[in-house]
C-alpha cells in the first residue's frame, strides 16, 4: 500500500511539471540562443576579367570594334592617359557585356552615348552588378573633339561606370572634366548616322544596337 501511494505521488508530480512546461512554452520547445558572433555571409567576389591589373604596355595598341546594326566603329585605346577607363572598356568589350546593348542617348551634332547595360537583351543580375562598379575620374590633356571616346558620369566625382560617349562634334567644355580614353579610327560616319536618326529629345526613336564588341590589336 505504501509503495502504491509513493508511485501515485510521483505520477502527479510528473504531470504537474509537464503542464507547467507546456504553459511556459506555448509555441513548442525553446530554441538554443544563436551565437552573437556568427559572421554574416559575405557578398560574392566579382569574377576576374581579362584586363584586370593589365599593365599599360599590354593595353597600348589595343582596339575595340563596335559592330553595330549600321556598320562598325573602330576605337583605338589611349591607356597612357586614362588607364582605368581603358581597362574598364576593354573588360566590358572582351566579356561580351556590351553585346546587344544600344546607343540609348543622342544629342544632335554633339554625341552618341552607349554602355547602358540595362538595354542588353541578356540583362541579368550579373550585368546589374557590373553596371554598379565605379571607376575613378581621369581627366587629362586630351581635347574633346570629333572622334574622341570618353566616359560618361553624373555630376558626382568618380561616378563613371559603364556608360561612354563618342563625340561627333566639338565638346571643348568637357576638357579637363571627363575621362577621354579612346579615339575613333574608322567608322565615324556610322556614328554620324546614329546621331542623326530620329529622336524624341535625346532619346532615339529606334536605338541602334551594338551586335558585338571585339577586342583586337589595332591594324597598322
Q: What is the pLDDT of residue 48?
A: 87
Residue 35 falls inside a structural domain: no
Q: What is the pLDDT of residue 25?
A: 40
Give the confidence band of 167 by pLDDT, cuts at 50, 70, 90: very high
Owning domain of residue 171: 59-217
pLDDT digits (tens, 9 = 90+) for 56-76: 999 999 999 999 999 999 999
Poorest-confidence range of 18-22, 46-50, 130-134?
18-22
Residue 103 falls inside a structural domain: yes
Residue 41 falls inside a structural domain: no
Residue 212 falls inside a structural domain: yes
Residue 19 predicted with pLDDT over 80 = no
CATH number for the domain that contains residue 126: 2.40.100.10
pLDDT digits (tens, 9 = 90+) for 85-125: 999 999 999 999 999 999 999 999 999 999 999 999 999 99
Strand spans (E) along 135-176: 148-151, 164-167
Number of domains in the chain: 1
Amino acid at each position: 500500500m505504501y509503495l502504491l501511494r509513493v508511485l501515485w505521488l510521483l505520477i502527479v508530480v510528473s504531470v504537474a511539471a509537464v503542464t507547467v512546461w507546456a504553459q511556459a512554452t506555448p509555441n513548442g520547445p525553446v530554441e538554443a540562443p544563436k551565437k552573437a558572433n556568427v559572421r554574416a555571409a559575405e557578398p560574392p567576389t566579382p569574377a576576374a576579367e581579362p584586363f584586370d591589373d593589365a599593365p599599360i604596355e599590354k593595353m597600348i595598341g589595343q582596339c575595340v570594334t563596335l559592330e553595330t546594326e549600321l556598320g562598325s566603329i573602330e576605337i583605338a585605346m589611349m591607356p597612357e592617359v586614362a588607364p582605368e577607363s581603358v581597362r574598364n572598356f576593354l573588360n566590358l568589350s572582351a566579356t561580351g557585356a556590351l553585346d546587344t546593348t544600344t546607343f540609348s542617348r543622342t544629342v544632335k551634332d554633339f554625341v552618341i552615348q552607349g554602355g547602358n547595360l540595362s538595354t542588353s537583351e541578356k540583362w541579368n543580375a550579373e550585368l546589374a552588378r557590373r553596371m554598379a562598379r565605379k571607376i575613378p575620374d581621369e581627366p587629362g590633356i586630351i581635347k574633346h573633339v570629333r572622334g574622341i571616346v570618353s566616359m560618361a558620369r553624373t555630376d558626382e566625382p568618380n561616378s563613371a561606370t559603364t556608360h561612354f560617349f563618342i563625340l561627333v562634334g566639338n565638346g571643348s567644355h568637357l576638357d579637363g572634366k571627363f575621362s577621354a580614353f579612346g579615339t575613333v579610327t574608322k567608322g565615324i560616319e556610322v556614328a554620324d548616322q546614329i546621331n542623326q536618326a530620329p529622336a524624341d529629345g535625346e532619346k532615339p526613336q529606334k536605338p541602334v544596337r551594338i551586335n558585338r564588341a571585339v577586342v583586337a590589336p589595332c591594324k597598322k
